Amino acid sequence: MPKLLELEDLRVSFHTYAGEAQALRGVNLTLDAGDTLAIVGESGCGKTVTAQSVMRLYPKGAADYKGGSIRYKGEDLLTLSERQMRRIRGREISMVFQDPMTSLNPTVPVGKQIMEGVLKNGSRESKRVTRRDARLRALELLEGVGIADPETRMGQYPHNLSGGMRQRVMIAIAMSCSPDLLIADEPTTALDVTVQAQILELMKSLQSRGNTSIIVITHNMGVVANIARKVAVMYGGVVVERGTVEDIFFRPRHPYAWGLLRSVFRLNKPKDEPLTPIDGTPPELIDPLPGCPFAERCAYTMRVCASGMPPEFAWGEARACRCWLYGPGCPVIPAEWEEYSHA
């Protein structure tokens, strides 16, 4: 079965005053149609760059695609012209951003902003849409994202709406073309928890209604557990581990994933149980050390880790981990294997 999206060895760099920042250093990812993938990682790990690269949002010259491919329905997006890309952006892949205030136009009523998308891209069935149809579609979309009294809301401006409401409008715009793939970049980070819960519910219900695949980018392991079926853990510009959500939470393999799961605050964590943080600081993107980006913070660092970036060791096609602990003939047996085999 063809994958909806396949990233292979994607490498992206940015040129800054301080030098070349290697934002992505060989990202591998796959996404099946209808699936939900969470890309999880800390700031600077490359999760947003991955998403923006799929959308090809970086203007020419800003980002340097140094290698690899982004195959969407079998076609490499990196080889498409800007015009072909615009068609894909409007009709097939859409995106929701973290801050709905800055991604909505403050001077245009929200209804009109939704209609614009519908008018520009047409509907699935026909290319030409009348204004009347677009209006009906916008109303339907607003209702679909759980906005009460859509007639009134249509005429309101973004600043009249609350943060949660604005994010709903953003999702309505993103869904206006019934995309095959929705990329949500930290969609709930700017929102309060009670509103976050609403938006997560909304995204799940949208997915179960249509056949949209979702990529959620987040740093919150709770959000991952809530919404994802597949998870890719990123660190230092690579996917260090990927698998199903159960794999990542109950049978994690990468030392960074172990550390991440241990440092998350859980409501049921007793006060006297100490937290185990990951020592050290996040990796540098400019002039990264050769080898595994996590080597300088890892508890199991070996000589090989400092010398070469570990390849992806795979268990089947959807489960992989970039760590030398799984290298051929590696004698080290981490305590976590034992620990997680009981879980």
Q: Is residue 337 part of the contact set for another protein (CB under 8 A)?
A: yes
Amino acid found at 250: F
Rounded distance, CA 55 to CA 92, Å? 10
- Residue 42 CB-half CA count within 13 A: 15
Q: Which residue has the tokens 């068609």?
A: 87
Structure tokens at 102: 């800055």
CB 181 within 8 A of CB 213: yes
Minimum distance, C-beta of residue 194 to another protein, in the bound complex (Å): 5
Task: Please state the closest distance from residue 226 (CB atom) to another protein, in A.
Answer: 4
What is the β-pairing status of strands 313-314 and 320-321?
Answer: antiparallel
Does position 326 bind another protein by CB under 8 A? yes
* Residue 267 burial (CB count, 10 A): 5
Question: Please, which of residues 6-25 interact with another protein by CB under 8 A?
Answer: 16-18
Residue 293, Cβ density class (10 Å: 0-12 exposed, 13-18 middle, ≥19 buried): buried
Residue 194 sits in the site that holds another protein (CB under 8 A): yes
Enumerate residues 211-270 that contact another protein by CB under 8 A.
219-226, 228, 245-246, 249, 251, 253, 259-267, 269
Subset of residues 70 to 129 that bind another protein, contact rule: CB under 8 A:
none
CA 198 and chain centroid, separation: 19
Binding residues for another protein, total number by CB under 8 A: 87
| Residue among 192, 205, 208, 211 that touches another protein (CB under 8 A) | 192
* Residues numbered 136-175 forming contacts with another protein, rule: CB under 8 A: 162-165
Q: Which is nearer to another protein, 108 or 314 (CB)?
A: 314
Q: Candidates 68-76, 105-113, 169-177, 187-195: pick the segment binding another protein (CB under 8 A).
A: 187-195
